[in-house]
Structure 1
Amino acid sequence: MSFAVEQRGNTNSLSYRLFFKNAEGKYISPFHDIPMYADEGQNIFHMVVEVPRWTNAKMEIATKDLLNPIKQDVKKGKLRFVANIFPHKGYIWNYGAIPQTWEDPAHKDADTGCCGDNDPVDVCEIGSKVCSRGDVIRVKVLGVLAMIDEGETDWKVIAINVEDPEANDFNNIGDVQRLKPGYLEATVDWFRRYKVPDGKPENQFAFDGEFKDKDFAIQVIKSTHNHWKDLISQKAKAGELSCRNTSLSDCGSPLCCSEDEAKAAVGDTCPCGKEEPIPCSVDKWFYKK
């Protein structure tokens, strides 16, 4: 199963969008139309890469937009870039999401005591290759961290690309601790502090910041997949989320997005243009007190 992307607008601008296509060249939603499983029997999952390692632009699947393209998050009319908190530079993993999952804001998690954050499940891919934005890769799940972001459950799955040269050496979270010493501690530190330069408090964690193992992580993914099923079948309230898709609903469904509608939606965006410069302030390092 292969996927392609089409850029619209200018990189590093409000107009930027990255749309997804399937192998037949038809537009699809990375939230709804890409299967969660790449190989269900082997528990191999698809991951949509939103942010390549070492970059700062806070890119994300636009869950409220038709076709759910990747775009840069905006706050108070300005593009969001994550701060560099010494010694980290940008995101320290390839960062993205597992399609066909949803952290239901109406569901209180029994383990964390908090409701979901209304997004697909996040993934930190720890392989050696720096991916490209919009890559759809196959990952092996190793564990999960339960971050509490402003009172909401925000799971962070730790995974590795199955095509990574070292993938065979990593089969559970303990392998990360053993073979990449300091990486998990740096991950907790990154998530704890990355919003502090914006004037926000440190994030908190369930389980005292302990990573749960592979089996626990897979159960989290399966649970959020069930919540997504309720969302896409309209058993759960979607709110402002766009659940329209091009492959799951028949033409009689209100969630069906026809090929013509999809083409029109992409055509209504700005054509691909030159890359805008990144503000110099993005390179600033912040130091912990």
Structure 2
Amino acid sequence: MDISPIPVDLIHHSLWNNRDITLGILRLDQIHPFVSGNKWFKLHQNAVQFQSGDFSHLLTFGGAFSNHLHATAHYCNQHKIPCIGIVRGEELKVDSNPTLQDCAALGMALYFVPRAEYRLKEHGATARSLASRHQICFVPEGGDNPAGRAGAAGIMEHIPGSWGHIAVSIGTGTTIKGMMDAAPPDMVFLGCTSVRNDKNVFLACEAAARQRNFQWIDQYHFGGFGRYNNELITFVKAFHEQFRIPLDIVYTAKMMYGILDMLGKGMLSPGSRILCVHTGGLQGNRSVPGLKEGEKK
């Protein structure tokens, strides 16, 4: 799939008018209507691995509203790859929400497992049973493996070197690690985590940064992964109203809230050129009460 060129939308705001700040958003959400953002990059290299090996099925993991599951189902449907999703929560069913309904309609076989088993991932009973019957290519939650990281490195091909700061939202850390692997050494990375107190991801990102300037921003997670409040919903609505750019509530909204707050407080130097990476995942906004249709996608 040809994904070039990827647009950059410039954001103008009175918060930084007099400080020679340039703020842009790399619109990875626009590369594909469903396999959007960083998901396409991470899945593509895993699909290459699947197709080059002796595999019959691609199996991955996710929660009830997982962007990763949703994108994987679309990607595999498009490329005719048999796929399986192991979903966290044995109380769930295929028709529990639109995300799972889409996955099933696209041909993904869904298995719902207890949370304790889910934590075991490919070592859980369901995954082991499936692996005994099929030639399984396992893809971790969020595409967090060497193939996913290598795929994420490809995002840097779409970023001009004139940007000095790159802001990336963090879940598993796969995207920012891959991007740092391929970035010029003088580029500063702002890692905006959506997960509360995730020391392992922090250490992995810090190790991936090596000698470069990497800043871990952990004060805008709004209580942890998948959590939000009315303040964040109001921000998503206002951002869309002002800039006509939808933000997903799990990742990009928290990143943009944080970057704008830091700019308002003068925490980023005058003259900075900051590019924020929109990692897509807008389908998850369907679960958020109070968002209008245009604010969801």
Q: Same fold (TM over 0.5)?
A: no
Q: Which one has a larger percent strand, Structure 1 or Structure 2?
A: 1
Give the TM-score category using the shorter length.
under 0.3
